[in-house]
């Protein structure tokens, strides 16, 4: 009998012959009034340099990242600004800024009390920022159509540094491929996009020598310690109180008060509130009783509730409590919104009615827009808000609060021409105005550098542009900022 000869298995020939992923982009041409522009959408391949045994082994495809790039026809790229935009989450695609505020087309979603019913629609956005800057919308890995490359893990991108570096590499690639190194350059980040944007402003400088003209933040989550209640940290409580008061007023719980006066009173009480909480168990009973009454009167909830909460109104509990008597839950990202609940005993808000109100219109509009107007076809799920990125890694901040203030401050110190615009919503129950202002007050920059920071407040929530008049005003404010920061005013 002949012995069968055994051989070591060779590399999988199917795998060896399989081509590497390639850019998957579609360019179309459009007009909007007097604007003539090109739109390029699809996925570009993100590579990483590979070094093994101290030897450079080339660049390996690691992810495919979906983008949409709008470029004005015939513009001089050395003077025409370019702006890179992204939302937050973590886990959010750029759909909201793209179709809500900045792009040449916008979703017909309606607003609180007058929501557009299915099947929704698209409108021309005559206030688009494309009138003043070219636009690049970026979907971080695992959001939108962005995915890890076949055979690669997405986990390295589901964290602070990996995400920041990947988005930074997309910005570098787009800047290089489209000859935009001499263009005025801007970032726009919303919510966690503010966390990412604050870090990117420094990273782009130190890693690539890319100096920006301006960074625009919408409801930025600069410092998580100001936003989330944690053991032995009472920082959020006084910072959220003016938002609670404004929200109670909006829902008719302060019928005899003027909004501005009420908010001013809550802001004025914040320092005293902070001192009271700092006393802990040493708080005098009479002083505590007075604080219970004051907080309850401002926030629009009962003294019994404030007392049981030990003076600390954690926000997801507050939005469940405020309109419990009406069997309604109050929105978090936009506290103007409300929704019904199955029962009135939820300890924390069972859902955010604002997110439910906007998810359908935005998703439907984007799916239609990409396939029909931008002529890009992809049958994968477009992840508007991806759960796959969680748990998000903040390993770089172990033992510390997640805070990018030092990075933004470093970028401003290094680049004396970097200007900052911050948009804030009075009814933003996730990133309150006072939390943002507190963080900006702690930027370690020279006093004269503070003149390069401007803020704008709107009578709406986290995504200010859902409110029609605020969208129009915000569009004008951002256009003015880009003009001035580009040296074109």
User: What span, in angstroms and rounded, lies between the C-alpha atoms of 340 and 288?
Assistant: 34
Residue 388, C-beta contacts closer than 8 angstroms, at least 6 positions apart:
91, 142, 154, 158
Q: Where does the chain hold its CATH 3.40.50.1820 domain(s)? A: 23-225+359-485
Predicted TM-score (pTM) of the model is 0.94
Least Cα distance to 250 among 342, 314, 315, 337 occurs for 337
Q: Which parts of 349-441 are beta strand (E)? A: 419-425
Class of domain 23-225+359-485: alpha beta
Q: From the centroid of its chain, how far is CA 221?
A: 8
User: What span, in angstroms and rounded, lies between the C-alpha atoms of 315 and 430?
Assistant: 8
Q: Which residues pair with 136 in a beta bridge?
A: 69, 84
User: What span, in angstroms and rounded, lies between the C-alpha atoms of 433 and 427?
Assistant: 9
User: What span, in angstroms and rounded, lies between the C-alpha atoms of 299 and 454?
Assistant: 29
pLDDT of residue 11: 52
Per-residue tens of pLDDT for the chain, all 489 residues: 344 444 444 455 555 567 889 999 999 999 999 999 999 999 999 998 877 777 777 789 999 999 999 999 999 999 999 999 999 999 999 999 999 999 999 999 999 999 999 999 999 999 999 999 999 999 999 999 999 999 999 999 999 999 999 999 999 999 999 999 999 999 999 999 999 999 999 999 999 999 999 999 999 999 999 998 776 689 999 999 999 999 999 999 999 999 999 999 999 999 999 999 999 999 999 999 999 999 999 999 999 999 999 999 999 999 999 999 999 999 999 999 999 999 999 999 999 999 999 999 999 999 999 999 999 999 999 999 999 999 999 999 988 889 999 999 999 999 999 999 999 999 999 999 999 999 999 999 999 999 999 999 999 999 999 999 999 999 999 999 999 999 865
As a whole number, the mean pLDDT across the chain is 94
312 CB-contact burial (10 Å; exposed 0-12 / middle 13-18 / buried 19+): middle
User: What span, in angstroms and rounded, lies between the C-alpha atoms of 407 and 190?
Assistant: 17
- Render pLDDT for 313-345 as a digit per residue (tens, 0 to 9): 999 999 999 999 999 999 999 999 999 999 999
DSSP 37: E
């Amino acid at each position: 009998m002949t012995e069968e000869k055994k051989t070591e298995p060779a590399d999988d020939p199917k795998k060896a012959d399989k081509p590497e992923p390639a850019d998957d982009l579609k360019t179309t041409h459009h007009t909007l009034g007097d604007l003539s522009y090109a739109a390029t959408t699809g996925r570009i391949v993100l590579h990483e340099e590979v070094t093994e045994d101290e030897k450079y082994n080339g660049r390996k495809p690691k992810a495919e990242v979906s983008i949409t790039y709008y470029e004005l026809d015939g513009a001089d790229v050395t003077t025409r600004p370019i702006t890179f935009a992204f939302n937050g989450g973590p886990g959010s695609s750029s759909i909201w800024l793209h179709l809500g505020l900045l792009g040449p087309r916008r979703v017909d979603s309606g607003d609180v009390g007058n929501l557009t019913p299915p099947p929704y629609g698209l409108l021309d956005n005559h206030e688009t920022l494309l009138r003043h800057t070219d636009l690049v919308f970026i979907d971080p890995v695992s959001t939108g159509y962005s995915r890890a490359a076949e055979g690669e893990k997405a986990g390295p991108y589901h964290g602070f540094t990996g995400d920041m570096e990947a988005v930074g590499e997309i910005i570098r690639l787009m800047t290089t491929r489209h000859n935009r190194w001499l263009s005025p350059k801007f970032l726009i980040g919303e919510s966690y996009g503010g966390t990412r944007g604050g870090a990117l402003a420094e990273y782009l400088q130190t890693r690539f020598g890319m100096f920006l003209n301006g960074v625009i933040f919408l409801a930025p989550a600069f410092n998580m310690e100001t936003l989330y209640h944690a053991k032995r940290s009472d920082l959020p409580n006084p910072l959220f109180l003016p938002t609670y008061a404004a929200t109670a007023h909006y829902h008719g719980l302060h019928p005899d008060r003027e909004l501005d006066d009420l908010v001013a009173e809550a802001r004025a009480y914040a320092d005293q509130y902070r001192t009271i909480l700092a006393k802990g168990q040493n708080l005098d009973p009479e002083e505590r009783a007075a604080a219970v009454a004051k907080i309850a009167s401002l926030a629009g909830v009962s003294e019994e509730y404030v007392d049981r909460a030990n003076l600390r109104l954690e926000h997801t509990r507050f939005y469940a409590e405020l309109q419990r008597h009406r069997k309604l839950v109050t929105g978090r990202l936009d506290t103007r919104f409300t929704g019904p609940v199955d029962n009135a005993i939820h300890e924390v808000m069972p859902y955010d009615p604002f997110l439910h109100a906007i998810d359908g219109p935005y998703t439907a509009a984007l799916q239609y827009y990409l396939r029909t107007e931008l002529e890009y076809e992809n049958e994968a799920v477009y992840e508007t808000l991806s759960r796959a990125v969680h748990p998000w890694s903040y390993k770089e901040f172990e033992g510390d609060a997640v805070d990018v203030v030092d990075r933004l401050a470093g970028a401003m110190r290094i680049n004396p021409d970097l200007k900052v615009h911050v948009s804030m919503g009075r009814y933003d129950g996730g990133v309150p105005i006072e939390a943002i202002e507190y963080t900006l007050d702690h930027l370690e920059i020279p006093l004269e550098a503070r003149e390069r920071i401007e803020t704008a407040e709107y009578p709406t929530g986290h995504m200010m542009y859902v409110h029609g008049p605020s969208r129009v005003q915000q569009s004008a404010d951002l256009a003015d900022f880009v003009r001035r920061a580009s040296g074109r005013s």
